[in-house]
C-alpha cells in the first residue's frame, strides 16, 4: 500500500519533471508521436497513395503496429536511464531503488493508454466500430509491460557501471524498428524464414495488436507463439530481477 | 538488539575497488578467469561501536578519513563490504548538501517528494508543511526550482525537512556549515530540543568548538579506522595530534623550544597549507616557522585563551637595516582578524649581514572566537620608496582555536559583570 502511493506520486513527478519548463508541459508527450503519425499519414496515404493492407486503410494498419512500438522504445530508453537520472535519490535517500524502473515504465504506460484511445478514435473515424476483440489489448499491454520491465531491470542496472549500454540500447531500438514487421507485412518474407523474424518477442506484441484491432484473432489461436513469448519474457524477467538485485548494493558506490 | 541502543555497528568495513583505467573495470567483469585488475582501498576498516538512545555524538577526522562513508552506511545508502549495522528507529539524514532534492522541482514539490520517500502520505505532509516553511524561512523561493537556491537556502530547506519528519535518529553531515550564523544558532537550538526529547544525534563537523559545546561524546576516525571513542575534549585533543601528524609519536620533552636543537626544523612538525602563496624578492627568506601551543609544542589546534606563540626564522642574503617582521590572522572568509608587526610594537630590529639567521617569536593569548583561522607571515622593509617585500607567506598555516565559550563577534574582552539592585 505504501509502495503504491509512492509509485503513483513518483510517476506523477516523473511525467511532470520530464516536460517541466516547457510551456505546453506534458502535452509534448502526446504531440511528438502524433506528429510522427501525421507525417506517415501524409507520406503514405496522401503522397504514395499506399494500397490498403488486407483491405484495411494503410494508416490504420500502421498505427496498430506503431503505437505499441512507441511504448516499447519510450519505456526502454526511459527505463534504462531511470537509475542514472535519479542518482540524487539513490545516493541520498533510503528507499526501494527497484521501484525506479517501474516508475519510468508507468509514466510511459500512461502516455501509451492515451494513444490506445487515440487509436480507437481513428478506427471509429474510418467507420470501424468497437469490437469485443479490442479488449484483448489489455492482455497485450500487460504482456509488453512485463517484457519491458525485465529488460529495463537489466539495462538500467548495467548502464550504471557500463555507460556504453545507453548507446547500445539506442541502436537496438533503431534496428528493432526495422527488424520488426511494423512498417512492412511479415507475409512479404517467405514463410520458411518467418521463424527467424519471430524470434523477436516484439513481433508477438505487434502482431497481437493487429490481431486485436484488425484481424480479430484471439491470442490462444496461435498457442505456440504465446508459449514462446512467455518463456522468453519470463526468462528475461528473472534474469533482470537477479541482475538488478546483484548490482543494486553497488549503485551508490559508482554514481 | 538492546532496546536502549540506537545504533550498533560491528566490524564494519567498506572496500572500494580502484582501477587505474576505466576499461579495467569492464575487463575484470568480463574476464573468464577472474583476473583481478583492481587494488583495494579501505574507506572503513573494521569499525565497531554502539550508540545509546539520546546520545549526541560528534564524528571528527581529516578530509577523506571516512566520516561520510560511515554516516552513509548507517543511513543505508551505501552498502557495507563487511560487518553489520543495526539501527533502532526512524533515521533522517542530511548527507552533504541536500537530502535527495530534485534540482528541477520547486522547494515545495521537493518537500512532498521527500515526505513520500520517507513513507508519509500527502495528507500527513500537508500538516507538516507550515512548520517546515516556518523553520526554513526562505520566503518566496519555496516556489522556485531548488537549482536556483543558494547553498545556504538549500541547507535550510534540507534541515527543516529532515527534522519535520520526527526522526528517532538524526544524522547531519557537514551540512550546516553553509548556513548563516542565525540559522546555525536556530539549528543548534533545535538540537537541544531533540536532545531533551531523548533523540539520538550523530554529526560530522570540522568546527571543533561545536563538538565540545554540543556533543556528549566524540568518535575520531583516521584512515578508515576508529582511533578514539571518548569525551569530546579528549577526542579533539587526539584529533589535534592526528592533524599535526604526532599521533603515536612519543611525547618527548625535548620538543620544548628553549631546549631545542639549533638545527631542528619546526615547520616539518606542522601541517603546511599546500595552497599558501609565497612572494618577495628573497633578500631575506623565511626558512622556518611554526605555531607553538602553551606547552611549546608545535600544534595547529589552540585552546581558547591559552598562551601560544608564533615562531619564525629568517636568513639574510644581504645587509639589511631594521627589517620589519609581521604576522596576520585571517578567518575562513579571508577577513583580517588581527595581527601585528615590529613597527607597530615600536621595536627596532637591528642590522644584519649576509648569512645571519634570526628567530622571531610572538607570544600572546588566544582570546579570539573559537573557529578556523589562517596565519600569514612576512618580512618587509619600509623605506623612502615605500614598502619592499623580502618574503611573505600568505595563509601558510591553517589552525583552529577551540573552546566551549561562544563569543559575540571576534574577541573576548573578559568583561566583569556586576548587577546591583538600586531600589527595593
Short-list A94, A6, A1, CA closest to B91: A94
Please give the pLDDT value at position B193: 87
Residue A234 — very low, low, confident or very high, per pLDDT cuts 50/70/90? very high
**B16 neighbourhood in chain A, CB within 8 Å:** 253
* Secondary structure of A126-177 as H, E, C letters: CCCCCCHHHHHHHHHHHHHHHHHHHHHHHHHHHHHHCCHHHHHHHHHHHHHH
Contact state of A91 with B77 under an 8 Å Cβ cutoff: yes
| Residue B76 shares a structural domain with residue B212 | yes
Which of B244, B271, B302 delimits the end of a domain? B244
Indicate the residue among B220, B244, B268 that finishes a domain. B244
Higher pLDDT, B404 or A230: A230
pLDDT at B258: 46
Q: Are residues B170 and B201 in the same domain?
A: yes
Do B160 and B62 fall within a single domain? yes
CB nearest to A88's CB, from B102, B118, B121: B102
Instruction: State how far the Cα of B243 lies from the Cα of B256, in Å rounded to an integer.
Output: 19
Q: What pLDDT sits at residue A105?
A: 93
Same domain, B202 and B293: no
Cβ–Cβ under 8 Å, residues B291 and B399: yes
* Chain A environment of B109 (Cβ under 8 Å): 13
| B105·A6 Cβ contact <8 A | no
Chain B residues within an 8 Å CB radius of A2: 119
Instruction: Please answer yes or no on whether A17 and B105 come within 8 Å at the CB atom.
Output: yes
CA nearest neighbour of A156 among A252, A243, A235, A250: A243
Under an 8 A CB cutoff, do B117 and A17 touch? no
Residues B201 and B258 in one domain: no
- Report the half-sphere exposure of A70 (CA within 13 A, side-chain side): 27
Q: B267 and B147, same structural domain?
A: no
Are residues A97 and A8 in contact, defined by beta-carbon separation less than 8 angstroms? Answer: no
Cβ distance B117 to A90 less than 8 Å, yes or no, reads no
B31 to B27, B37, B365: CA distances (angstroms): 6, 10, 63
Q: Which residues of B touch A250 (CB under 8 A)?
A: 79
Amino acid A21: pLDDT: 65
Q: Which residue of A has its CA nearest to B96?
A: A92
In a domain, B410, yes or no: no
Q: Nearest-CA distance from B79 to chain A in Å?
A: 6
10 Å CB burial of residue A78 (0-12, 13-18, 19+) is buried
Q: Could you tell me if the ipTM is greater than 0.85?
A: no
CA distance B151 to A12: 27
pLDDT band at A88 (very low <50, low <70, confident <90, very high): confident
Average confidence (pLDDT) per 10 residues, chain B, 424 residues: 85 87 72 79 90 90 86 87 88 72 84 83 86 87 87 84 85 76 81 88 82 86 89 83 64 45 73 83 90 88 90 91 91 85 87 90 91 91 84 89 83 89 81
pTM here is 0.69
Cβ pair A227, A66 in contact under 8 A? no
Q: What is the pLDDT of residue B253?
A: 42
Report which of B311, B301, B303, B298 is spatially closest to residue B373, judged by C-alpha positions.
Answer: B301
A85: three-class secondary structure by DSSP: helix
Q: How many domains does chain B have?
A: 2
pLDDT score, position A213: 92
Residue that has been written with the C-alpha cell 601558510 in this structure: B396
Inter-chain touch A13–B113, beta carbons under 8 Å: yes
User: Is A226:A198 a contact under the CB 8 Å cutoff?
Assistant: no
- Same domain (yes/no): B182, B284: no
CATH of the domain at B340: 2.70.50.60
Please, what is the average pLDDT of chain A? 87
Q: Do A90 and B77 touch (CB under 8 A)?
A: yes
Give the per-residue pLDDT at B192: 86
**In a mutagenesis test of the A interface, which of B100, B125, B171 is the best target, namely the one with the most A β-carbons within 10 Å?**
B100
Same domain, B282 and B259: yes
**B411 found inside a domain:** no
Nearest CA in chain B to A8: B116
A143: its cell numbers: 504482456
Confidence check: pLDDT of A119 > 60? yes
- ∠ CA B72-B76-B79, nearest 5°, is 85
Q: Show residues of chain A in contact with B95, CB under 8 Å.
A: 91-92
| Closest CA in chain B for residue A3 | B119
Q: What is the pLDDT of residue A149?
A: 95
The reply to whether B418 falls in a domain is no
The reply to whether B324 falls in a domain is yes
Place of cell 519535520: B164
Residues of A in contact with B89 (CB under 8 A): none
Asked if B13 contacts B83 with a C-beta cutoff of 8 angstroms, the reply is yes
DSSP-assigned beta bridge partners for residue B392: B279, B378
What span, in angstroms and rounded, lies between the C-alpha atoms of B218 and B229? 6
Instruction: Report, as an integer, the average pLDDT of A155-166.
Output: 88
Asked if residue B265 lies in contact with residue B288, where contact means CB atoms within 8 angstroms, the answer is yes
Look at residues B299, B257, B295 and name the one whose alpha carbon lies nearest to residue B401. Answer: B299
| B313 and B203 together in one domain | no
Contacts with A5 from chain B: Cβ below 8 Å: 116, 121-122
Read off the pLDDT of residues A18-67 as tens digits, 9 standing for 90 and up: 776 667 777 777 787 788 878 888 887 777 777 777 778 888 888 899 99
Closest CA to A50 of A65, A38, A36, A40: A40
Verify that B75 and B181 share a domain, yes or no.
yes
Measure the CA–CA gap between B48 and B55, rounded to whole angstroms: 17
* pLDDT at position A2: 64
**A13 vs B77: CB contact, 8 Å cut-off?**
no
Output the CA–CA distances (angstroms, integers) from residue B145 to B102, B107, B149, B196, in the order listed.
9, 6, 8, 35
Q: Which of A240, A238, A207, A210 is nearest to A225 (CA)?
A: A207
- Tell me how far apart the alpha carbons of residues A180 and A70 are, in angstroms, rounded to a whole number: 13
CA distance B168 to B200: 6
CATH number at residue B138: 3.40.50.300
H-only helix segments in chain A: 2-18, 27-40, 58-85, 87-92, 99-125, 137-161, 164-179, 194-198, 201-210, 223-247, 251-254
Say which residues have a Cβ less than 8 Å from residue B383's Cβ, sequence separation at least 6.
Answer: none
Ranking A13-17, A242-246, B357-361, B372-376 by mean pLDDT, the lowest is: A13-17
Is A9 in contact with B122 (Cβ distance < 8 A)? Answer: yes
Q: Are residues B197 and B260 in the same domain?
A: no
Distance (Å, whole) CA A141 – CA A145: 6
Phi, psi angles (nearest 5°) of residue B98:
80, 130
Which residue in A has a C-alpha nearest to residue B101's C-alpha?
A: A88
* Inter-chain touch B78–A253, beta carbons under 8 Å: yes
* Percent of chain A at pLDDT exceeding 90: 42
Q: Which domain holds residue B269?
A: 253-402
Same-domain pairing of B138 and B212: yes
Residues of A in contact with B113 (CB under 8 A): 9-10, 13
User: A83 near A159, Cβ under 8 Å?
Assistant: yes
Domain boundaries, chain A: 2-254
Of B182, B211, B244, the residue that ends a domain is B244
Indicate which of B68, B69, B94, B102 best probes the interface with A, i.e. most A CBs within 10 Å of its own CB: B102
Amino acid at each position: 500500500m505504501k509502495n503504491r502511493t509512492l509509485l503513483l506520486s513518483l510517476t506523477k513527478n516523473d511525467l511532470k519533471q520530464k516536460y517541466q519548463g516547457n510551456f505546453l508541459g506534458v502535452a509534448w508527450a502526446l504531440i511528438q508521436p502524433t506528429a510522427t503519425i501525421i507525417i506517415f499519414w501524409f507520406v503514405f496515404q496522401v503522397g504514395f497513395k499506399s494500397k490498403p493492407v488486407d483491405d484495411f486503410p494503410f494508416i490504420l494498419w500502421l498505427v496498430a503496429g506503431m503505437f505499441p512500438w512507441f511504448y516499447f522504445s519510450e519505456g526502454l530508453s526511459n527505463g534504462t536511464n531511470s537509475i542514472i537520472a535519479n542518482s540524487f535519490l539513490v545516493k541520498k535517500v533510503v528507499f526501494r531503488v527497484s521501484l525506479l524502473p517501474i516508475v519510468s515504465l508507468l509514466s510511459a504506460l500512461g502516455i501509451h493508454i492515451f494513444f490506445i484511445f487515440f487509436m480507437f478514435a481513428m478506427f471509429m473515424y474510418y467507420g470501424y466500430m468497437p469490437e469485443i476483440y479490442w479488449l484483448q489489448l489489455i492482455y497485450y499491454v500487460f504482456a509488453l509491460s512485463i517484457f519491458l520491465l525485465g529488460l529495463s531491470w537489466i539495462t538500467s542496472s548495467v548502464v550504471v557501471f557500463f555507460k556504453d549500454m545507453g548507446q547500445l540500447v539506442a541502436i537496438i531500438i533503431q534496428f528493432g524498428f526495422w527488424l520488426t514487421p511494423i512498417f512492412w507485412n511479415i507475409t512479404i518474407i517467405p514463410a520458411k524464414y518467418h521463424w527467424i523474424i519471430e524470434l523477436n518477442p516484439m513481433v508477438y506484441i505487434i502482431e497481437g495488436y493487429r490481431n486485436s484491432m484488425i484481424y480479430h484473432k484471439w491470442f490462444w489461436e496461435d498457442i505456440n507463439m504465446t508459449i514462446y513469448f512467455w518463456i522468453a519474457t519470463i526468462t528475461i524477467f528473472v534474469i533482470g530481477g537477479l541482475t538488478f538485485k546483484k548490482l543494486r548494493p553497488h549503485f551508490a558506490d559508482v554514481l | 538488539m538492546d532496546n536502549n541502543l540506537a545504533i550498533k555497528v560491528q566490524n564494519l568495513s567498506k572496500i572500494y575497488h580502484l582501477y587505474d583505467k576505466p576499461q579495467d573495470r569492464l575487463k575484470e567483469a568480463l574476464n573468464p578467469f577472474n583476473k583481478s585488475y583492481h587494488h583495494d582501498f579501505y574507506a572503513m576498516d573494521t569499525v565497531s561501536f554502539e550508540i545509546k538512545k539520546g546520545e549526541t555524538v560528534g564524528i571528527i577526522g581529516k578530509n577523506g578519513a571516512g566520516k561520510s562513508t560511515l554516516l552513509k552506511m548507517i543511513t543505508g545508502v551505501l552498502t557495507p563490504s563487511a560487518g553489520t549495522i543495526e539501527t533502532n528507529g526512524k533515521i533522517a539524514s542530511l548527507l552533504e548538501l541536500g537530502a535527495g532534492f530534485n534540482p528541477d522541482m520547486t522547494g515545495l514539490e521537493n518537500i512532498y517528494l521527500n515526505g513520500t520517500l520517507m513513507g508519509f502520505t500527502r495528507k500527513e505532509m500537508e500538516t507538516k508543511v507550515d512548520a517546515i516553511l516556518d523553520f526554513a524561512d526562505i520566503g518566496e523561493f519555496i516556489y522556485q526550482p531548488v537549482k536556483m537556491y543558494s547553498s545556504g537556502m538549500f541547507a535550510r530547506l534540507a534541515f527543516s525537512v529532515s527534522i519535520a519528519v520526527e526522526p528517532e535518529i538524526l544524522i547531519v553531515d557537514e551540512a550546516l556549515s553553509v548556513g548563516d550564523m542565525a540559522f546555525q544558532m536556530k539549528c543548534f537550538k533545535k538540537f537541544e530540543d531533540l536532545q531533551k526529547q531523548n533523540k539520538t544525534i550523530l554529526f560530522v563537523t570540522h568546527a571543533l568548538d561545536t563538538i565540545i559545546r554540543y556533543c556528549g561524546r566524540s568518535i575520531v576516525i583516521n584512515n578508515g579506522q576508529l582511533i578514539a571513542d571518548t569525551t569530546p575534549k579528549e577526542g579533539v585533543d587526539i584529533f589535534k595530534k592526528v592533524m599535526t601528524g604526532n599521533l603515536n609519536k612519543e611525547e618527548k620533552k625535548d620538543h620544548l623550544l628553549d631546549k631545542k636543537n639549533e638545527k631542528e626544523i619546526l615547520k616539518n612538525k606542522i601541517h603546511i597549507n599546500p595552497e599558501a602563496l609565497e612572494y618577495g624578492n628573497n633578500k631575506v627568506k623565511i626558512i622556518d616557522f611554526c605555531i607553538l601551543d602553551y606547552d611549546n609544542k608545535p600544534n595547529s589546534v589552540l585552546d581558547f585563551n591559552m598562551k601560544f606563540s608564533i615562531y619564525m626564522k629568517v636568513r639574510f642574503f644581504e645587509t639589511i637595516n631594521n627589517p620589519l617582521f609581521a604576522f596576520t590572522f585571517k578567518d575562513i572568509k579571508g577577513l583580517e582578524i588581527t595581527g601585528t608587526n615590529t613597527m607597530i610594537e615600536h621595536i627596532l630590529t637591528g642590522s644584519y649581514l649576509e648569512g645571519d639567521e634570526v628567530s622571531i617569536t610572538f607570544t600572546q593569548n588566544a582570546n579570539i572566537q573559537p573557529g578556523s583561522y589562517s596565519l600569514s607571515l612576512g618580512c618587509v622593509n619600509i623605506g623612502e620608496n615605500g614598502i619592499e617585500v623580502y618574503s611573505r607567506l600568505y595563509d601558510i598555516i591553517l589552525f583552529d582555536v577551540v573552546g566551549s565559550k561562544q563569543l559575540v563577534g571576534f574577541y573576548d574582552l573578559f568583561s566583569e559583570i556586576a548587577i546591583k539592585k538600586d531600589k527595593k
